[in-house]
């Protein structure tokens, strides 16, 4: 969506109190902040800010695949290897979200890829939390939490290590923001959720919320696995789930929320331009959804633009539906819920028989 859409944001959209459940730190650092941090470290990958912005924000001719989209995460990593930079980046992201009336904000982040200059995983986590807390002190009704991501391409063993680290920074151990959930992301096809079952078990046993990127670049069988084997309470994207009616019934029955990221989905090719977003099918099927930005900087979007983008598809009742979407999203936030799940309950959920035969591994 182009920046010019900003002027067309209806006032009713701006006023909506928003709940953001799916936003990545690395892809949401404002270009100006990144440029400033790069220069501070004497890094000049390109001569001008204009060119830098072109490299950081997805261009129309780059749309179409998830892998092209993931390429945009290259430059942010240059400077997010230092505590102060990560803190400053997180702070800028939270401030921007607040300016779009976001009051419940879950950011997600893979700490492992921020340790190349010597930060520990724990420091990499604390840097984001510290940035969040700076803004929380200024905005009393803001609630923030961090969802830790295991990168699929790092494999299940690193994911288990990370799940254990996540527990040590869980929200209930902190006065302000903390880690509230666990997720897998990165190249989806060939890295099915069942490979990460043990990491998810660790996270659940420690009382973290569980979500998984699934059904963005792979079929509905990955969503089934995320539910049945990872015990996911929420699904990131889940676009392909609309092709499977029994899966839609399962999502609705168990109140498993789908984190919908419309602009990102059109850009990665998960949803074809000119076709309705799966969010409509989810709503019709009674599946709880959240409206999310995924990566505000890469996708050149924000919470207002996502709402404005969906409004024409939602029809005359659009504002009321969006208000309800954010209300329901607020009920599904992991913030304020860590440390409450017992291992027995988590196991019980996963042992529940699948609604259909278990899909194959890939």
Nearer Cβ to Zn ion, position 229 or 294? 294
Burial class, 187, CB count within 10 angstroms (exposed 0-12 / middle 13-18 / buried 19+): middle
Catalytic residue among 201, 216, 221, 229: 216
Burial class, 320, CB count within 10 angstroms (exposed 0-12 / middle 13-18 / buried 19+): exposed
Shortest gap between Cβ of 116 and Zn ion (angstroms)? Answer: 22
Nearer Cβ to Zn ion, position 111 or 318? 111
Q: Please confirm, yes or no, whether 88 is among the known catalytic residues.
A: no
Binding mask 245-284 for Zn ion (x = CB under 5 A): ----------------------------------------
User: Residue 123: what are its φ and ψ, rounded to 5°?
Assistant: -65, -40
Shortest gap between Cβ of 143 and Zn ion (angstroms)? Answer: 20
> Are 277 and 310 in contact, with CB atoms under 8 Å apart?
yes
Shortest gap between Cβ of 204 and Zn ion (angstroms)? Answer: 20
Nearer Cβ to Zn ion, position 127 or 214? 214
Nearer Cβ to Zn ion, position 10 or 64? 64
Instruction: Measure CA 115 to chain center.
Output: 21
User: Residue 103: what are its φ and ψ, rounded to 5°?
Assistant: -120, -10
Q: Quick one: which segment of 45-53, 112-120, 138-146, 292-300 binds Zn ion (CB under 5 A)?
A: 292-300
Q: Quick one: which segment of 30-38, 187-195, 294-302, 308-316 binds Zn ion (CB under 5 A)?
A: 294-302
Q: In angstroms, how far is the first alpha carbon of the chain from the final one?
A: 33
Shortest gap between Cβ of 66 and Zn ion (angstroms)? Answer: 10
Query: Quick one: CA dihedral 338, 343, 344, 346, positive or negative?
Result: positive
- C-alpha 227/C-alpha 211 separation (Å) is 9
Show which residues are catalytic: 216
Q: What does the binding site for Zn ion look like in residue numbers (CB under 5 A)?
A: 294
């Amino acid at each position: 969506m182009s920046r010019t859409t900003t002027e067309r944001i209806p006032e009713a959209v701006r006023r909506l109190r928003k709940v953001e459940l799916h936003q990545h730190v690395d892809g949401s650092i404002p270009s100006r902040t990144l440029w400033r941090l790069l220069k501070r470290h004497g890094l000049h990958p390109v001569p001008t800010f204009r060119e830098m912005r072109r490299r950081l924000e997805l261009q129309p001719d780059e749309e179409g695949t998830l892998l092209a989209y993931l390429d945009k995460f290259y430059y942010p990593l240059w400077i997010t290897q230092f505590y102060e930079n990560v803190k400053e980046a997180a702070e800028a992201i939270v401030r921007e979200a607040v300016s779009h009336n976001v009051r419940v904000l879950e950011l997600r982040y893979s700490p492992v890829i921020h340790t190349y200059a010597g930060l520990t995983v724990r420091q990499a986590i604390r840097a984001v939390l510290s940035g969040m807390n700076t803004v929380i002190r200024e905005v009393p009704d803001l609630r923030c939490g961090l969802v830790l991501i295991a990168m699929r391409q790092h494999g299940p063993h690193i994911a288990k290590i990370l799940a254990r680290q996540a527990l040590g920074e869980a929200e209930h151990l902190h006065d302000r923001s903390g880690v509230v959930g666990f997720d897998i992301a990165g190249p989806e096809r060939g890295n099915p959720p069942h490979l990460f079952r043990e990491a998810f078990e660790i996270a659940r046993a420690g009382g973290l919320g569980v979500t998984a990127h699934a059904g963005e670049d792979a079929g509905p069988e990955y969503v089934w696995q995320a539910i049945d084997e990872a015990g996911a309470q929420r699904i990131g994207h889940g676009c392909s789930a609309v092709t499977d009616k029994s899966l839609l019934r399962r999502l609705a029955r168990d109140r498993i929320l789908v984190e919908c990221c419309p602009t990102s989905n059109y850009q990665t090719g998960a949803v074809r331009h000119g076709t309705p977003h799966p969010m409509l099918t989810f709503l019709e099927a009674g599946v709880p959804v959240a409206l999310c930005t995924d990566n505000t900087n890469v996708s050149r979007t924000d919470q207002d633009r996502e709402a404005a983008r969906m409004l024409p598809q939602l029809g005359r009742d659009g504002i009321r539906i969006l208000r309800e979407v954010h209300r329901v999203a607020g009920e599904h936030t992991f913030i304020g819920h860590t440390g409450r799940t017992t291992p027995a309950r988590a196991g019980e959920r996963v042992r529940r028989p699948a609604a259909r035969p278990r899909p194959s591994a890939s």
